[in-house]
A and B are shown apart, each in its own frame.
Chain A
Amino acid sequence: MAESKKKKTENAVSEEMDTSAKAPAREEIYDVVTEMLSELLNMEKSEFSEETMIFEELPLDSLQLYELVVDLEERFDLHISDEAIEKIRSIGDVVDMIHDAANN
């Protein structure tokens, strides 16, 4: 059930990305980020918001943060610098980081 839900979301995201050569929209990035966090932390997507503080409010350790970063790099085909990772505080920051990296 969870696996099919994951596949469905992945397909939806990749289809959206394939049909557009432009950088991904912010909403699309938010959707992928929260989907990945949901998988990593075994939480519902509805439990997240742009304002959710990554380290204070989520049980995310440093390895899981890097898992998120490595998976986002793979998904959006971009490079994320260590400096950018160090600025992350909220989920909104993660979305901004990907949005900025995809547009530069």
Chain B
Amino acid sequence: MIAMTFNALLIAIREIRRNLMRSFLTVIGIVIGVAAVITMVTLGRGATEMVKQNISKMGNNLLVLRPGQGFGGGGGAQMFSLQDVDAVRAQVPGIASVAPFVSNNALVVYQEESRTYDVQGTTPNYFSIGNWTVSTGRFFTEAEVEESAPVCVIGETIRKELFGAGVDPVGSKVRVKNITLEVIGVTGAKGQGGFGDDLDDNMITPYTTIVRRLSGRQGGKNFNQVMISGQQDYPSAYIVADVAALMRERRKITANEQDNFNVFDSQQLAEVISSSTKVMTSLLGAVAGVSLLVGGIGIMNIMLVSVTERTREIGIRLAIGARAREVLLQFLVEAVTLSCIGGVTGIALAYGLCTTLAEVVGAPFLFDPKINIIAFVFSAAIGIIFGFMPARRAAGLDPIDALRHE
């Protein structure tokens, strides 16, 4: 049996070599189908993962309490006070950290360079809520918040634009409106956010510095956002509901009045976006599935066209003394060999395409063995079935009928 299989392999390889064009076309059908399916699905999953990562860049289970209704609302709506922040921290369960947050666009001047950036005032809690790291220098401390210290931490974009890439700005002084701030740190680059926005063009200072020195306001409702991070594994929907209930109570909003604030939940956004990219992925997968099917039909086509010639070949082999099972084994080995070459090449091609495209699109490359196996098995099955079935019929004939096949 081993000798017979080895012999079949020998003959099959001869036949593949003899019919290079036909073999090549068969393999190409499988290669394209397999590569298309794997590439599409892998890239789709990568895109989903990219969206998730971008949203998680915004912060650790980030929720944001904002004035007004819905996205972008809040012009003229009531802002938040430090008492609101303390109440949220004290009364809402499942919260890891809370920070008041005020931001204004302001002109930042360093020597001859000047540009407008988002100047933000907050507490050190914000660094953990916003998932910030420091690439050089340090964050400011609670003590510096207490004494309204004239310090700031700048984003990578500001460092590049005002100081030049690679320059260490720590210790330098910049002017914002009428005050001078000392740069004490640079935040680690985050790159693009979930909406394609730059996350590195902001300047973070103690809120006391901004509130007292820049906006000139004292106490009261100074904060246009409250940054909240939920505890890991605590359902964010509960926090949203609890924060909303608390704020309605604090603002004495009656049952038939609408909220004049809203709570943005990054996890919920992530779920919405990733579910839509999942739909996209299945759509792409379906399109690629069609190409796998077309590749399969191509294989059937080639196999059927070659049946005439192959039936005579089978007749010759039978006439010179091959047994039907030896001929069948040869055809099976041939089909398996071609299918496997096609499948492996397809997977390799998909791997190359995925890594290249993932780099171009900026999506992470996620190797998924399941889709590889499905695509491989499907194409191999087509190759084997359609390579083997005509041979099985031919080998069942009397040699003379196979020889006379037109």
A and B: interacting chains: no
Residues of A within 8 A of B (CB): none
